[in-house]
Amino acid sequence: MKRREFIEKTAASTALLSLGLSLSSFETNDIKHLTILHTNDVHSHIDPFPADDPRNPNQGGVSRRAALIESIRKENPNVLLLDAGDIFQGTPYFNYYGGEIEFKLMSTMKYDASTIGNHDFDNGLDGLYAQMPHATFEFICSNYDFTNTVMNGLVKPYKIFNKNGIKVGVFGLGIEMSGLVDKKLYKETVYNDPVEIAQDMTQLLKKQEKCDLVICLSHLGYKYRDNDTKISDLKLAELTQDIDLIIGGHTHTFLDKPTIVQNKAGEKVLVNQVGCYGINLGRIDFYFDKNKAHTNQGRSIIV
Amino acid sequence: MVNLKKYNGVLKLFVIFLTLFFTVSCSQKNYTLTKIEGKQLPVNEKVAETPEIEKFIAPYREHINKDLDNVLAYSPETLEKSTGKWQTTIGNLMADVCLQRGNAVFKAREKKDLDICFLNHGGIRAILPKGNVTTRTAFEIMPFENNLVVLALKGEQILEMATYIIKENKPHPLAGMTFTISKDNTAKNILVQGKPLDSNKTYYVATNDYLANGGDSMNFFLKHTQKFDLEYKLRNVLIDYFKEVDTIPVIKDIRITEE
């Protein structure tokens, strides 16, 4: 009799204890922290600018960027490292080695993905294809159709990264090649409308795949002052919804801080670009809470 | 023996409770984005270097530097593209050199002569500094992989070209042709190789492949009747020229004047 009582009591207290434990363990995991690091238009700038450079003395350099990234990874291992295109062209490293060093170094730094910039076609589709074995990261571009080219199957329209329980959907948008890139370089690559593709991608990533965060890697350019009809990152942000962050490139735009744009649904979108040549590293930290109800009211943006 | 019947009942209820608890707490709720912080981190001399990366780059850097620092010629003055409203010293040099060296290839291949060379101001990517001129100088001025091409254009398109220059209001490199901008902002006294422009005649114009395909909105190039790719990179044109000369000339002759 006494023995049974003891077992019952123990069972009950174990149940309570495990319940308590599971509750408390949930609480500590409730806030998740994701760090997005990004570059754009590095243009083969492997070495820092020399000390006597008139515009960017002592700026940039892959070796320093790698150290910076590593120190951030130590502080928060939950990092997504992205590039918005134009990895190629700008220093003799590219002319002599065709992009091999750029891709190998980005792989060493553990880049997760890059989109494709217009200058990444500079050695033609064959030149890009030849360097693909040196890249361990993904190439993501949703509006270029490479079906009838050697690049077929090597560029993904999107990718979902699972970062410590956070689902991050990344898609990419490239600029119109016609008039900008020689046809003999991009050959049968087809350019599709960025806004339409962005709508398809957000529908898929946010609505169907239920990603916690949707990022667009864009090489469309930040904005065009003298061309109101040309699609840009600021325009894209206004014309779409369900994109949380646009990481841009192409226009080599230096911003003091990320731009906040109201999207089609009246929600806030972050648009960022960090100039060019690896002079800066962009950092956006996202904090997620599991306990909060799913509303947009409590979202604070500090830039 | 211990009677476990009563205990099983409790356990069953507890399992059901746990299942419900986890279903509600885990699968139903998504993560909600509550805070975003954005900043930009400068990559400069204050950031330490990564020894492994330095070690990886070093042999490539050494090879390139050795090759690039070969002294090829000497420049008595700094040539740049920002001084001059309609022509610049560096633009004149680029256009003259492309016309001369392009002509050698074109003549050998097609038995014809080039008339004009027209390039874009934006295509000159650096200055030509006073002092030693090296292979590196050519890489800096012309980092892109553009080829020299020749287009057969009618006189009409040459006039469009002059109109384009006036509208763009930029000192685009030009050789083999001169003209005057009249008070009403149109081109007059157009001379090609010293002779008045004939609108029905075919002219052979050297440019780069980017512009030949309508780059920088040079749509008059798209109206060519024939196209010849010289398969000669503009950068190599410069390097070959630097190897040939000792001292770089400072070319200041006037090609475009305002009335």
pLDDT in tens, A61-73: 999 999 999 999 9
Contact B31 A58 (CB under 8 A): no
Q: Which residues of A touch B14 (CB under 8 A)?
A: 15
Contact A66 B50 (CB under 8 A): yes
Residues 6+ apart with CB under 8 A from B209: A182, A184, B146, B147, B148, B149, B229
Q: Using CB atoms, which residue from B36, B64, B139 is nearest to A270?
A: B36
Chain-centroid distance, C-alpha A241? 17
Q: Name the average pLDDT for chain B.
A: 91
pLDDT in tens, B60-98: 999 999 999 999 999 999 999 988 999 999 999 999 999
A248/A275 Cα distance (integer angstroms): 10
Q: What average pLDDT does the segment A10-30 reach?
A: 50
Q: Which residues of B touch A297 (CB under 8 A)?
A: none
* C-beta separation of A154 from A139 below 8 A: yes
Claim: this prediction has a pTM higher than 0.95? no
pLDDT in tens, B126-140: 999 999 999 999 999
* Share above pLDDT 90 across residues of chain A, in percent, rounded to a whole number: 80
Using the Cβ of A121 and the Cβ atoms of chain B, whether some distance falls under 8 Å is answered with: no
Please give the pLDDT value at position B213. Answer: 87
Establish if A157 belongs to a structural domain: yes
**Residue A130: pLDDT band with limits 50, 70, 90:** very high
Using the Cβ of A137 and the Cβ atoms of chain B, whether some distance falls under 8 Å is answered with: no
User: What is the span of the domain harbouring residue A139?
Assistant: 33-302
- B212's tokens: 């030949």
pLDDT in tens, B29-45: 578 899 999 999 999 99
Structural domains of chain B, count: 1
Q: What average pLDDT does the segment A265-294 reach?
A: 92
**Residue A11: pLDDT band with limits 50, 70, 90:** low
Residue B164 reports pLDDT greater than 50: yes
Contact B43 A7 (CB under 8 A): no
Contact B37 A303 (CB under 8 A): yes
Residue A294 reports pLDDT greater than 70: no
Structural domains of chain A, count: 1
User: What is the span of the domain harbouring residue B88?
Assistant: 67-258
* Share above pLDDT 70 across residues of chain B, in percent, rounded to a whole number: 89
How many CB atoms lie under 10 A from the CB of residue B219? 12
CATH number at residue B121: 3.90.780.10
Using the Cβ of A213 and the Cβ atoms of chain B, whether some distance falls under 8 Å is answered with: yes
Looking at residue A141, its amino acid is C
Distance in Å, alpha carbon of B101 to nearest chain A alpha carbon: 22
Contact A64 B29 (CB under 8 A): no
Q: What average pLDDT does the segment A129-137 reach?
A: 98
Q: What average pLDDT does the segment B155-159 reach?
A: 98
**Residue B214: pLDDT band with limits 50, 70, 90:** confident
Please give the pLDDT value at position B16. Answer: 62
Name the one residue in this structure whose structure tokens are 């760090």: A35
pLDDT in tens, A136-173: 999 999 999 999 999 999 999 999 999 999 999 999 99
Contact A287 B136 (CB under 8 A): no
Distance in Å, alpha carbon of A152 to nearest chain B alpha carbon: 24
**In chain A, which ranges are continuous DSSP H helix?**
2-28, 62-75, 92-97, 100-108, 124-131, 183-186, 194-202, 233-239
**ipTM > 0.85 (yes/no):** yes
Residue B26 reports pLDDT greater than 50: no
Using the Cβ of A258 and the Cβ atoms of chain B, whether some distance falls under 8 Å is answered with: yes
Q: Which residues of B touch A60 (CB under 8 A)?
A: 43-44
**Residue B186: pLDDT band with limits 50, 70, 90:** very high
**Residue A8: pLDDT band with limits 50, 70, 90:** low
Please give the pLDDT value at position A227. Answer: 81
Please give the pLDDT value at position A228. Answer: 81
Please give the pLDDT value at position A295. Answer: 54
Establish if A17 belongs to a structural domain: no
Residue B177: is it exposed, middle or buried by C-beta count within 10 angstroms (0-12/13-18/19+)? Answer: buried
Please give the pLDDT value at position B27. Answer: 46
Residue A293: is it exposed, middle or buried by C-beta count within 10 angstroms (0-12/13-18/19+)? Answer: exposed
Establish if B24 belongs to a structural domain: no
Establish if A258 belongs to a structural domain: yes
Mutate to test the interface with B, among A53, A95, A125 (most CBs of B within 10 A): A95
Q: Using CB atoms, which residue from A61, A184, A295 is nearest to B43?
A: A61
What sign results for the dihedral spanned by CA atoms B207, B209, B210, B214? Answer: positive
CATH number at residue A98: 3.60.21.10
In the sheet with B174-175, reading across from the earlier edge strand, the strands are B174-175, B116-118, B202-208, B147-154, B226-233
Residue B236 reports pLDDT greater than 90: yes
Q: Which residues of A125-148 are buried (b: 16+ CB within 10 A; e: fewer)?
A: bebbbebeebbebbbbbbbbbbee
Q: Using CB atoms, which residue from A59, A105, A212 is nearest to B33?
A: A212
Question: Bigger pLDDT: B160 or A291?
Answer: B160
Helices and strands in chain B: count of H runs, count of E runs: 7, 12
Please give the pLDDT value at position A298. Answer: 65
Please give the pLDDT value at position A24. Answer: 43
Establish if B118 belongs to a structural domain: yes
Please give the pLDDT value at position A179. Answer: 80
Establish if A16 belongs to a structural domain: no
A180/B93 Cα distance (integer angstroms): 26
Question: Bigger pLDDT: A225 or A168?
Answer: A168
Q: Using CB atoms, which residue from B43, B53, B63 is nearest to A278?
A: B43
